[in-house]
Structure 1
Amino acid sequence: MKLAYWMYAGPAHIGTLRIASSFKNVHGIMHAPLGDDYFNVMRSMLERERDFTPVTASIVDRNVLARGSQEKVVDNITRKDAEEHPDLIVLTPTCTSSILQEDLQNFVDRAQEASVADVLLADVNHYRFNEMQAADRTLEQIVQYYIAKARKKGDLPEGKTAKPSVNIIGISTLAFHSHHDCTELKRLMADLGIEINEIIPEGASVLNLKNLPKAWFNLVPYRELGLMTARYLEKEFGTPYVDITPMGVVETARCIRKIQQVINAQGANVDYENFINEQTLHVSQAAWFSRSIDCQNLTGKKAVVFGDNTHAAAMTKILAREMGIQVVLAGTYCKYDADWFREQVSEYCDEILISDDNGAIGDAIARLEPSAIFGTQMERHVGKRLDIPCGVIAAPIHIQNFPIGYKPFLGYEGTNQVVDLVYNSFTLGMEDHLLEIFGGHDTKEVITKGISADSDLGWSRDGLAELNKIPGFVRGKVKRNTEKFARERGIGEITAEVLYAAKEAVGA
C-alpha cells in the first residue's frame, strides 16, 4: 500500500456531490463521518457561491456504529425534504458506508415513502471509481431516472425542435473554467444559429430533463463528464453527439465542421466555412500570433504537458501543431481512459506518461528540464521547486483558477486566453533575473531537496553558498545537473568541490 499525499482526482462521493449541487433545487445527502463534509467548504470558497451549498452530511458517529444508521439517514432525508422542498434528494455512499456494508437502497426506499421529493441513491462503487468517473455515472443515472419517469407518465415530448438545437452536457461546479467556457459555447452556438435546448447539470432543473431528446445533437466539451449521458441519449433516442473539444484554432474549426455535418444530415442546410475563416482571422489572435516574431522565438522550446484527458490532449496539439513548440512529454492522470489519450497525442509529443503518481511526473519534469510546464496546480508546485514556469490548464486547481474576470479556454475567445497563457509561461522568470542584476530584492534561497519523496541528496553549507552565486536564470539547471552527477557517483552530500567537478564534467 502506498500513502497518497496528493491526489489528482478526489473520491467518488465528491463527483456525485458535484453533480447534485450543480443542478437547481437538488439536495445531496452524504453518509460519512464528521470531517468528510469538506465539500461544502470547498465549493462555497472556490465557486464564491452566495447561497449555502445544498449538501447535508448524515454523520456516522459512535452511536451509529453501535446501533446502525438506518433511522438517522431516513430522518435526515425526510427532514431536508420538509425544510428545503427540493425536486430531488441524492444520497451518496462513501468509503465509510461501503465498509459498514449498509443497505442504503433500503434507506432510500423507506425515505421515499415519507418524502414529496424524488429520492435517489447514487449507484457508484467507491472502491472502483474516482471523482470524475462517479460524476459521469451520477449524471447519466439522474438523466435515465427522469427520462424513465416521464415515459411512465406519458409525459415524454416527441419530435425535435423546429430549429437546430443542442444540449451542452458536462458543465458543472468545481470544474476548470467551466462557467466561462459555457458562456463562450452559448455565444458560439448563437453565432451558428443553433438554439440551446438544455445545459446540464449546471443550473438545470431535473424536471426539464425529459426535454433532452428534443435537441438535434448533444455537445460534450469535456471527455471526463457527459460522455455516458450522450451515449445513453444516442442509444435511446438516436441523438448524435459531438465530443470534439473546441480548444485551439484547429480543434474549434474541426468541432464546428462536425456540428455542420451532424445538423445537415438532419435536414438543415448550413455552411460555416466563412464563419470559421472570419473568426480565425479577425476574432482569434492565435493565428496571427503564431506568425509573429514573439511566437517564432518560442519555436523549438521544450514543454511538458500534464492534466486530465481533455485539456492535456488539447494543449499538446496547440503547442505542437499551432505554435511550433516541442512537447517532450504529454501525460494524463486519467488512467481509465488511457487508450484514447495515447491515440490523440502520440504524433504530437516525444514521450507519453499515464500515471496518477505526482512523484512520477515530478521526476520526469526534473529529468527532461523543459522550458515551461502546462499542468495542474501540482505541476505548478513542481515547477516552483525547479525554477520552471508553469501554466495551469486543468484540475486539481487553486482559487486563482476560479477567476471573476472572463477567461474561457474554449471557442475563439478561448484561443486568445491560451496564447496569453503559453507566451507568459515561457517568458515568466525573466523579471527575476533582471531584478537580480539591477537589485530590488534579496537573492532567492535555492531549494535543494529532490522532487521525489525518497530523495536522499543533501547540500553542504559551502555547496549552497556556491550555488547561490550562480545567476537565477540558470541556477535551477546547474542544481539539477549537479544532483544528477552526484547520484551517478553515489555521492550523498553535495559540497562546493562536487559542484565544481560537476561543472567540469559537462564542460561548463
Structure 2
Amino acid sequence: MKLAYWMYAGPAHIGTLRVSSSFKNVHAIMHAPIGDDYFNVMRSMLERDRNFTPVTISSVDRNVLARGSQEKVVNNITRKDTEETPDLIVLTPTCTSSILQEDLENFVQRAQLDAKGDVMLADVNHYRVNELQAADRTLEQIVQFYIAKARKQGHLPEGKTEKPSVNIIGISSLGFHNHHDCTELKRLMADLGIEVNEVIPEGASVHNLKNLPRAWFNLVPYREIGLMAARYLEQEFGMPYVDITPMGVVETARCIRKIQQVINAQGAEVDYEEYINNQTLYVSQAAWFSRSIDCQNLTGKKAVVFGDNTHAAAMTKILAREMGIHVVLAGTYCKYDEEWFREQVSEYCDEVLISDDNGAIGDAIARIEPSAIFGTQMERHVGKRLSIPCGVIAAPIHVQDFPIGYKPFLGYEGTNQMADLVYNSFTLGMEDHLLEIFGGHDTKEVITRGISADSDLGWNKEAQAELNKVPGFVRGKVKRNTEKFARERGFSEITLEVMYAAKEAVGA
C-alpha cells in the first residue's frame, strides 16, 4: 500500500457498497472504523437520493480491539434485520477488519441463525483489489448466491423467454451517467424488438435473480462491472454475452450487429442493417457533424484521453476514427486490465499510459500541451492549472457530472452528447482572448503557471510586457517554452533577448 492524496478508484469496500446499495431492499453492514463511512454522504450528495443510504457502520473502536467484535457485528446484523426487514444483508469487510484477522464468515453464519432474511459476506480481498474489481466480484457473488439458492429449492425457471430478451448487467449506484445510459439502452432494445428481462444491480430485487437464465443473452455495457457475472452465467447456463460498449457511431453499430448475430444463432431471423443506417443518418447528428465545417476545424488538433477502461477506450476511438482528432496519449488507471486496453487503443493513439498515479498523467499533459483533455475530474483540475480545456468522460467525478437533465453516453442519443462534449471542450476561435479583453476570465492568474509550481525564474520588465502581448490561449505555452529554454542554458533572468532566442529555438 502507498499513501496517496488522490485515488482514481477507491478502496474495495466502496465497490461492494455500490453494488449492495444498488439492489432494492438490500442492506450493507460495514465493519470499519468511524471515518470509513463517507460512502453514505457521497452517495446521497452525488446521486441526489431522497432516501437514506442502506448502509450501517459497525464501528471498530477500543472496546472492539480489547474484546473482539463478534458480538457487536452479529447484534448489528440482527438489529437491522428486525428494523429494516431486508431481503439480504451484506457484511462488508475493510482493510481494518483484515488487519484484525477476524473470522467474519463465522459472524455471518452466527447471525444467519437469528435473521429472517439472507446474510452473506462480501468475499473480496481488500489488499489486492480496488473499488471496481470489488464491485465486479460482489455482483457475481450475489448472482451466484441466489442462483444456487433457487436451484436448491427447485425454484430455478427452465427455458428461455418466448421473444428475444436481454439482461443488462453492470448499471450501478455512483456509476458515470449509468441511469441515463440504462434508459437509452432500454430504448435501443425496444427499437430492436428485444425485451429487457432484468437490469442488475440498479433497482433489481435479489428474488428476481433466479430469472436471469431466461434471457437470450446478456449485455455488459461497462467493462469494469458486470463481466464476472456474465462469464459465470455463460459457464453455468451457456448464456452468450455482448461486451461491446455502444459508445459512438461505429461501436454502437458494431454492438447491434453482434446482438443480431447472437440472437439469430438461437433461432431468430432479424436484420438490423436498415435500423443502423436510419439511426446513423437521421437520428444521430454525430455522423453529419463530423463532416461539417465546425468539426473540420478540429481535424488534427492534439488531445489527451484518460479514464477507466470503458470510457477512455471508447473516447479514443471516437476522437481518432470519427472526428479526425489526433490522440497523442490515451491512458487508463485500470492497471489490472492493461492488456485489453492496449489492444483497443494502440492503433488510434501515439502513446499509451497505464498508471494510477495522478502526478504521472499531470506531467504527461504538461509535456504534451494538448488542445484539449478528455479525462476524470482530476485531469480537469490539471487542465485548469495549465489553461487547457477538459471534458469529463469518466469517474472519479464531481457533483456537476451527475446531470439532472438527460445525458446518456451510450446509444444513438449518446453519440449526440459525445459530439457536443468534444466540440465544446476545445477552445473555440478567439474565445479566451475575448474573455481577457472583457475581464471575464476566472483563471487569468493561472494561465502562465506550470503543472508543478510557480516559476523560479525572474522576468524583467520588458520581457514581461512582451509576454503580456501574447494572446491568452497560447501565453502559457510560450512562457513554459521560454523558461525551459532558459533553464537548459543556465539563465537566471528572462530578458527580451532570451525570449527571442527561445522563439527561434522552437521554430515559432
Work out whether the TM-score is over 0.5. Answer: yes
Is 1:471 the equivalent of 2:449? no
Contact 2:447-2:472 within 8 A present in 1 as well: no
Q: Report deviation, 1:275.
A: 0.4
Please say if 1:356 is aligned against 2:356.
yes
Name the residue aligned to 2:280.
280
- 1:125-164 to structure 2, matched below 5 A, reads 125-164=125-164
| Secondary structure of 2:160's aligned partner | coil
Measured after TM superposition, the shift of residue 153 of structure 1 is 0.2
- Kindly state the Cα deviation for residue 368 of structure 1 after the two structures are TM-superposed: 1.0
Find the aligned partners of 1:386 and 1:486 in 2 and give their Cα distance: 20
State the TM-score, normalized to the length of structure 1: 0.96
Matches within 5 A, 1:244-283: 244-283=244-283
| Partner SS for 1:346 | helix
Matches within 5 A, 1:98-247: 98-247=98-247
Match of 1:47 in 2: 47
Which AA in structure 2 matches 1:80? Answer: K
CA pair 249-67 structure 1, distance change in 2 beyond 3 A: same
**2:456 aligned partner:** 458
1:338 maps to 338
Give, in whole Å, the separation in 2 of the partners of 1:375 and 1:239.
34
**1:42 corresponds to which letter in structure 2?**
M
Amino acid in structure 1 at the alignment position of 2:118 = D
Residues 268-277 or 473-482, more deviating? 473-482
TM-fit CA distance, 1:209? 0.2
Asked whether 1:396 is paired with 2:396, we answer yes
How many percent of aligned residue pairs carry the same amino acid? 87
SS at match of 1:327: strand
Instruction: Provide the rounded CA distance (Å) in 1 between the counterparts of 2:97 and 2:264.
Output: 50
- TM-aligned CA distance change 1:272 to 1:73, over 3 Å: same
- 2:488 aligned with 1:488: yes
Cα displacement (A) at 1:174: 0.4
Shift of 1:481: 1.1
Relative to structure 1, the CA distance from residue 155 to residue 434 in structure 2 (aligned partners, 3 Å threshold; closer, same or farther) is same
Deviation digits for residues 209-244 of structure 1 (CA, Å, limit 9, x no counterpart): 000000000000000000000000000000000000
- What amino acid maps onto 2:222 in structure 1? Y
Residue 459 to residue 163, structure 1, CA distance change in 2 (3 Å): same
Secondary structure of 1:157's counterpart equals coil
1:116-150 Cα deviation digits (max 9, x unpaired):
11001000000000000000000000000000000
Q: Deviation of residue 290 (structure 1)?
A: 1.0
> 2:456 is matched by which residue type in structure 1?
G
Match of 2:29 in 1: 29
| CA contact 2:307–2:375 (8 Å) conserved in 1 | yes
Q: Which residue in 1 is equivalent to 2:87?
A: 87
Identify if the C-alpha distance between structure 1 residues 486 and 54 changes in structure 2 by more than 3 Å, giving closer, same or farther. Answer: farther
Distance of 2:447 and 2:33 partners within structure 1: 38
Query: Relative to structure 2, which stretch is displaced further, 116-125 or 436-445?
Result: 436-445
SS state of the match for residue 113, structure 2? Answer: helix
Distance 1:98 1:220 in 2: 31
* Contact 1:408 1:417 survives alignment (8 Å): yes
Letter in 1 for 2:268: A
Residues 386 and 446 in structure 2, CA contact (< 8 A), matched pair in contact too = no
Report the Cα offset of residue 506 of structure 1: 3.0
Verify the 8 A CA contact 1:456 1:492 in the aligned structure 2: no
Q: What are the Cα deviations for residues 398-428 of structure 1, in whole angstroms up to 9, with x where unaligned?
A: 0011000000000000000000000001135
Q: What CA RMSD, in Å, does the superposition of the two structures yield over aligned residues?
A: 1.9
Distance verdict in 2 for CA 1:430–1:172, change over 3 Å: farther
* Alignment TM-score, normalising by the size of structure 2: 0.96
Give the CA deviation at 1:89. 0.2
Distance apart, 1:436 and its partner CA: 2.0
Whole-angstrom distance in 1 between the partners of 2:329 and 2:478: 22
Contact 1:136 1:224 in 2 (8 A): yes
Is this contact kept in 1: 2:449–2:476, CA < 8 A?
A: no
Structure 1 residue runs without a partner (length 5+): none
Distance (Å, rounded) in 2 between the aligned partners of 1:59 and 1:445: 46
Q: Whole-Å Cα distance in 1 between the matches of residues 494 and 268 of structure 2?
A: 70
CA distance in 2, matches of 1:391, 1:489: 37
Asked if the contact 2:15–2:133 (Cα under 8 Å) also holds between the matched residues in 1, the reply is yes
Question: 1:39–1:438: structure 2 CA closer, same or farther, 3 Å change rule?
Answer: closer
Per the alignment, residue 365 of structure 2 pairs with: 365
**Cα drift, residue 380 of structure 1:** 0.6
Q: Deviations over 1:219-271 (max 9, x none)?
A: 00000000000000000000000000000000000000000000000000000
Structure 2 spans left out of the alignment, 5+ residues: none
Cα pair 1:164 1:263 within 8 Å, conserved: yes
- Residues matched between the structures, number: 506
Q: Is the 8 A contact 1:448 1:458 kept in 2?
A: no
Q: Aligned partners of 2:38, 2:442: CA distance in 1, in Å?
A: 39
The 1-side partners of 2:176 and 2:192 are apart by: 25
Measured against aligned partners, the alpha-carbon deviations of 1:176-231 in whole angstroms (never above 9, x if no partner) come to: 00000000000000000000000000000000000000000000000000000000
How far apart are residue 173 of structure 1 and its match?
0.6
Q: Give secondary structure in 1 for the equivalent of 2:445.
A: coil
Contact preservation (8 Å) 1:77, 1:89 = yes
Q: Give the letter for the 2:212 counterpart.
A: L
Over 3 Å counting, the alpha-carbon distance change for 1:362 and 1:238 in structure 2 is same
431-440 vs 85-94, which moves further: 431-440
